[in-house]
Amino acid sequence: MTIMASKLIKRFGEKSAVAGVDITVGEGEFFVLVGPSGCGKTTTLRMIAGLESIDEGRLEINSRPVNDVRPRDRDIAMVFQDYAIFPHLGVYDNIAYGLRSRRTPGAEIRRRVGEAAATFRIEHLLRRKPRQLSGGERQRVALARALVRDAQAYLYDEPLSNLDAQLRHQAREDILQLHRRQRKPTVYVTHDQSEALSMGDRMAVMRAGRIEQVGTPRELYEAPASRFVAFFIGTPSINLIEAELSRDDEGIVITAPAFTFRLPERLTARLTGPVEGPVTVGLRPEDLHTPRQAKFAVGEHNTLQAAVELIEPTTAGSTVYATVAGPDGRLDLTASFAGRLPDRYVGQEVPLAADLDRLHLFDPVSETSLLRRDPS
Ligand code: ATP
């Protein structure tokens, strides 16, 4: 069972909300579509569901063209952001609704509603009306309602965005657990990159109606194809620094307002573009370390003296906002440290060791990566 979308286009008036999207979701794959508000995620999902007509392109489910197949005949289950549960029906009847409309035998309905209620831990709520439920409970009813029957494919449109952080975490687990049991192709839409990174087998980053990059969460994090993807993926966001590449006798040098580093051999070998001229350097906050914590050789060649402006404690350690002053200007940098940095460091200078092997380089005009994928 697979979903295959090829060159999907959807126009609203003059504007293309979706401007040629290709997506293949394999057997049992959990595929996440992520991107900023208005980039066309929901419209893409609604075209797959059949709730929005397709202007151009081809959509196949299990190798069968379905462009003109009615939504209910596509055999897809969809969970919406706004829950879409019937306020006048009780929880049991809400969950049973889809099965009844498909003339499922009574005993089968009771069994399946019981199973779905158990999966989402709402057995004790089956007699209530939606207005007697909390937001989190209502959302679990919506999930149970959409997922009670065996569909060929599952689609989710930001189903967790109305939940608080803790409930969201639990609901992610519920959805993934159900997916592991059913192993049906799934497309999950979210604007939350951390949700995409933690849930997706593969993910696609959308921007202005197009897909910017597709890959595993790790591929998108480690080898972003563009400045946009690099900035969208990862928290805190990657540091982007306008710099200059030049060549000397020993290799390639990066000169930025507040530092000059030599490009490591490993990256030089992967460079695809011109080795001289302007460049945007990407340096992830988690690739800046205190010299003691660095797992690579630290020296003048990769260390910056940074003045700490603000320290934010995080679950994993600290986020440090700092500035580096150099002869040609000032640079604001964000660093994520594994350990706690005490507040007394605010206003002090600390050394920051940059893991230069993990730098990203982008063309400042086209914004695409200048590095070939690392074969290792
Ligand atoms: P969000 O995360 O905010 O829901 P999205 O990525 O899901 O955003 P879409 O809802 O797919 O984005 O919308 C893509 C673009 O198409 C937006 O510019 C939106 O305003 C426009 N659009 C969506 N539906 C319609 C419609 N029915 N009529 C006109 N324009 C629409």
Pocket test for ligand 1, best of 43, 44, 52 (most atoms within 8 A of CB): 43
* pLDDT tens-digit series, residues 224-235: 999 999 999 999
Ligand 1: does its nearest atom lie under 6 Å from the Cβ of 41? yes
What separation in Å is there between the alpha carbon of 154 and the centre of ligand 1? 21
Q: Which residues of 284-312 are buried (b: 16+ CB within 10 A; e: fewer)?
A: bbbbbbbeeebeeebeeebbbebebeebe
What is the distance in A from the centroid of ligand 1 to the CA of 19?
Answer: 12
Q: Is 47 in the pocket of ligand 1 (CB under 6 A)?
A: no
As a whole number of angstroms, the distance between CA 150 and CA 99 comes to 10
pLDDT at residue 10 tops 80: yes
Task: Map tokens 């295959």 to a residue.
Answer: 4
Q: Is 153 in the pocket of ligand 1 (CB under 6 A)?
A: no
Rounded to 10 degrees, the C-alpha dihedral 97/98/99/103 comes to 100
Q: Is 14 in the pocket of ligand 1 (CB under 6 A)?
A: no
pLDDT tens across 222-265, in order?
999 999 999 999 999 999 999 999 999 999 999 998 889 999 99
Q: Are 288 and 354 in contact (CB under 8 A)?
A: yes
Summarised one tens digit per residue, pLDDT across range 311-326 is: 999 988 999 999 999 8
Is any ligand 1 atom within 6 A of the Cβ of residue 280? no
Question: C-alpha distances in angstroms, 335 versus 143, 189, 194, 344?
Answer: 38, 30, 18, 17
Q: What is the mean pLDDT of the chain?
A: 92
Position 375 scores a pLDDT of: 64
pLDDT in tens, 205-217: 999 999 999 999 9
Q: Is 282 in the pocket of ligand 1 (CB under 6 A)?
A: no
Q: Give the pLDDT band of residue 178 (cuts 50, 70, 90).
A: confident
* Stated pTM of the model: 0.91
Structural class in CATH, domain 3-223: alpha beta
Q: What is the predicted pLDDT for the residue at 160?
A: 86
| Atom 19 of ligand 1, nearest CA residue | 38
pLDDT at 369: 96
Over residues 86-144, the pLDDT tens digits come to 999 999 999 999 889 888 999 999 999 999 999 888 999 999 999 999 888 888 898 89
CB atoms < 10 A from the CB of 32, how many? 25
SS3 percent helix, strand, coil of the chain, rounded to 5, is 30, 35, 35
Q: For ligand 1, is residue 38 a contact (CB within 6 Å)?
A: yes
Ligand 1: residue whose CA is nearest its atom 30: 12
The band of 373, judged by pLDDT with boundaries at 50, 70 and 90, is: confident
Question: Where do the structural domains in the chain lie, given as residue ranges?
Answer: 3-223, 239-362
What's the 167 CA to ligand 1 centre distance in angstroms? 27
pLDDT at 164: 80
